[in-house]
Amino acid sequence: MPHLDNEGYGPQLSRYGTTLAQIERLDAWLEEHGVIGKGGSIKPAAKFRADLDKLALNLAGALGLTPVSHARVLRDLGEAGRSQVDIAKAQEEYLREQRGSA
């Protein structure tokens, strides 16, 4: 994912990595202690795990790591590339016109 080499993605990548690490640690804790608490209720840690899943999915989408968001990034990069080509062509045409009228 070459678009992630842009330093502007740094904070989001860091947050995504932190979230994945939290999920791993919480999974280990839940495996050891279980999901169900006394009285048959779901432990708060299990509910927090679900929140972390949602956060990880949102961050993955924002970073273009899901199939749909990756396709969107590729589309946007393609449109940006076409815009750059259009600008370059317009500049060349302008310079040709300037040379022709001089």
- One DSSP character per residue, the chain reads -GGGGSGGGHHHHHHHHHHHHHHHHHHHHHHHH-SB-GGGPBPHHHHHHHHHHHHHHHHHHHHT-SHHHHHHHHHHHHHHHHHHHHHHHHHHHHHHHHHHH-
pLDDT in tens, 55-97: 999 999 888 888 888 788 777 767 655 555 555 555 666 666 6
Q: Tell me the average pLDDT across 39-50.
A: 94
> Which of 31-35, 52-56, 69-73 comes out lowest in average pLDDT?
69-73
**pTM score:** 0.67
* Of 11, 26, 100, the residue nearest 63 (C-alpha): 11
